[in-house]
């Protein structure tokens, strides 16, 4: 797919970091790479949201809406592809980095699979134990996300008419 309109460029700039855009455009199938990174961002966002909800008892009240909706800043969740291959890594920036500290994250593990313009991702966020009682049951949440980049861009076009 060739996404070159001004609306498309704006959408990419709102959702992907410059290094993610450069990486995806340099791949043999850019649409599959963008769909993979998008689904990974969604899976990470949902795993953080699930972790926040399940950790509310031990961490106190967590605003449940900070990780949801169209205002969720996906650009703050960067999916990094290691140069020599291997599992993708997650780097959090801005608001997502604040969630990282608030949730006391130990790790986010991520897997991405894609074909054509479709992708499937699985993210698992795990927090450090909050106290000795929690040491035996550190919270883990995993979420999968499926993305079709063509449908996302078409939805963006329909929403802006």
Q: pLDDT tens for residues 90-112?
A: 999 988 888 888 888 889 999 99
Contact 59, 102 (CB under 8 A): yes
CB 120 within 8 A of CB 40: no
Cβ–Cβ < 8 Å for 35, 119: yes
Instruction: Give pLDDT, residue 18.
Output: 95
Does residue 96 sit in helix, strand or coil?
Answer: helix
Closest CA to 147 of 33, 16, 36, 48: 36
Residue 17 CB coordination number (10 Å): 19
For residues 23 and 12, give the distance between their C-alpha atoms in angstroms, rounded to a whole number: 13
Q: With H, G, I as helix, E, B as strand and everything else as coil, classify residue 94.
A: helix
SS3 content of the chain, % helix, strand, coil (to 5): 50, 25, 25
Candidates 33, 25, 7; CA nearest to 114 is 33
Mean pLDDT score, 149-155: 62
Q: Two tokens at 93?
A: 């920036």
pLDDT tens-place string over residues 21-80: 999 999 998 888 999 999 999 999 888 887 777 666 555 555 555 555 555 678 999 999
CA-wise closest residue to 126 among 112, 137, 111: 137
Chain Cα centroid distance, residue 121: 9
Q: With beta carbons less than 8 A apart as the criterion, state whether 149 and 38 touch.
A: yes
pTM value > 0.85: no
């Amino acid at each position: 797919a060739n996404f070159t309109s001004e609306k498309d460029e704006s959408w990419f700039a709102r959702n992907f970091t410059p290094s993610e855009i450069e990486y995806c455009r340099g791949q043999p199938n850019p649409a599959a790479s963008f769909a993979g990174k998008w689904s990974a961002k969604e899976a990470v966002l949902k795993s953080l949201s699930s972790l926040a909800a399940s950790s509310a008892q031990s961490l106190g009240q967590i605003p449940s809406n900070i990780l949801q909706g169209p205002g969720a800043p996906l650009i703050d969740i960067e999916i990094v592809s290691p140069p020599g291959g291997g599992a993708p890594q997650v780097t959090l920036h801005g608001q997502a980095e604040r969630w990282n500290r608030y949730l006391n994250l130990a790790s986010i593990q991520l897997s991405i699979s894609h074909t054509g313009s479709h992708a499937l991702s699985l993210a698992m966020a795990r927090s450090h134990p909050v106290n000795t009682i929690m040491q035996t049951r550190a919270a883990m949440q995993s979420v999968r996300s499926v993305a079709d980049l063509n449908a996302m861009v078409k939805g963006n076009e329909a929403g802006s008419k």
